[in-house]
Amino acid sequence: MRIFKLLVISLLVFLFACEATDLDKGKIIGRIKNHSTGDLMEDVKVYLRQKQDGAFTLYDTLYTSSVGYFKFYEVESGTYDIHAAKFNDELEENVSHVTPFIDEFEFDDQVISPSVGDIEAYTINSTNASISGTVYYEDGSPANEASIEIRLLQADEEFIFNIVYSDANGDFSSADFITGNYYLIVNSFGVVPAVSAVTDIFFHDGNGEEAIGEIYLN
């Protein structure tokens, strides 16, 4: 009987140890700070996206604690990125702060509590930031009147921020950006539409200029 009791106790200890270990797996932690003040921010919505078949899809969301921390549990192995938004209304229609996308990273669910560190949230406001670039056809000739659709990503929504067209030399530019993340979709009539390789352009408070460089249509 004593041996049986010892076996039962040993089994319970083993199961508890396994359960505790499982609880430690697959956690991603970090915190959100106000870029302007350095204060930790509560009730910020954090978006975790997983890369599948070359595209990111929403994996999970949560809100930061009263001291600015977030922790995703039971995250499976894969490639992810993270960004966050602070809303100033209950319907979550008005964004007051956004963060850059944290560059995609590989996550192994066997790793205990990996940390992405501090992510800075920038106040949404107008800037004098601008972008410029040149569009070419595959043969190297300039793409005249190619459309450059500039999409703004805020929280888990995306909006067409502006549409500009290239000139006879294939050059284009756009200005008056607000704080946020952007990507470009470039098309030209008579040519197979192409998505540019430029993604996750981030403009923050103040002036800035992003030279996109050359974009070749397929």
- pLDDT digits 0-9 by tens, 34-92: 998 999 999 999 999 999 887 889 999 999 999 999 999 999 999 999 999 999 988 88
Statement to judge: residues 11 and 27 lie in one domain: yes
User: Residues, the chain, total?
Assistant: 218
Statement to judge: residues 115 and 203 lie in one domain: no
Q: For the residues of the chain, what is the DSSP string, one character each?
A: -HHHHHHHHHHHHHHHHHHHHHHHBS-EEEEEEETTT--B-SS-EEEEEEEETTEEEEEEEEE--TTSEEEE-SPPSEEEEEEEEEESSTTS--EEEE-PPEEEEEE-TTSBS-EEEEEEEEEP-B---EEEEEEE-TTS-B-TT-EEEEEEEETTEEEEEEEEE--TTSEEEEE-PBSEEEEEEEE-TTS--EE-S---EEE-SS--EEEEEEEE--
Q: In this structure, are residues 102 and 82 in contact, taking their beta carbons and an 8 Å threshold?
A: yes
CATH number for the domain harbouring residue 66: 2.60.40.10
Statement to judge: residues 25 and 111 lie in one domain: yes
- The reported pLDDT for the residue numbered 194 is 56
Give the pLDDT band (50/70/90) at residue 18.
very low
Statement to judge: residues 67 and 138 lie in one domain: no
> Which among 67, 100, 123 is the end of a domain?
123
Statement to judge: residues 108 and 153 lie in one domain: no
Largest CA distance in the chain: 91
Q: In this structure, are residues 200 and 180 in contact, taking their beta carbons and an 8 Å threshold?
A: no
Statement to judge: residues 22 and 83 lie in one domain: yes
Cα separation of 44 and 50, whole Å? 20
Residue type, 49: R
Cα separation of 8 and 148, whole Å? 68
| Prediction pTM value | 0.75
The residue with greater pLDDT, 150 or 13, is 150
Statement to judge: residues 91 and 137 lie in one domain: no
| Structure tokens given for 29 | 């932690």
Statement to judge: residues 8 and 114 lie in one domain: yes
Q: How many CA atoms lie within 13 A of 167 on its CB side?
A: 7
Statement to judge: residues 25 and 79 lie in one domain: yes
- The reported pLDDT for the residue numbered 192 is 58
| Structure tokens given for 149 | 């659709």
Cα separation of 186 and 16, whole Å? 55
Q: In this structure, are residues 135 and 113 in contact, taking their beta carbons and an 8 Å threshold?
A: no
Range of the domain at 67: 2-123
Statement to judge: residues 88 and 70 lie in one domain: yes
Instruction: Judge whether residue 8 has pLDDT over 50.
Output: no
- Could you give the number of structural domains in the chain? 2
> Which among 123, 144, 177 is the end of a domain?
123
Statement to judge: residues 8 and 90 lie in one domain: yes
> Which among 73, 92, 123 is the end of a domain?
123
- pLDDT digits 0-9 by tens, 85-141: 999 988 888 899 999 988 888 888 877 667 888 999 999 887 778 889 998 888 888
Cα separation of 187 and 144, whole Å? 11
Statement to judge: residues 99 and 33 lie in one domain: yes
Residue type, 123: T
CATH number for the domain harbouring residue 209: 2.60.40.1120
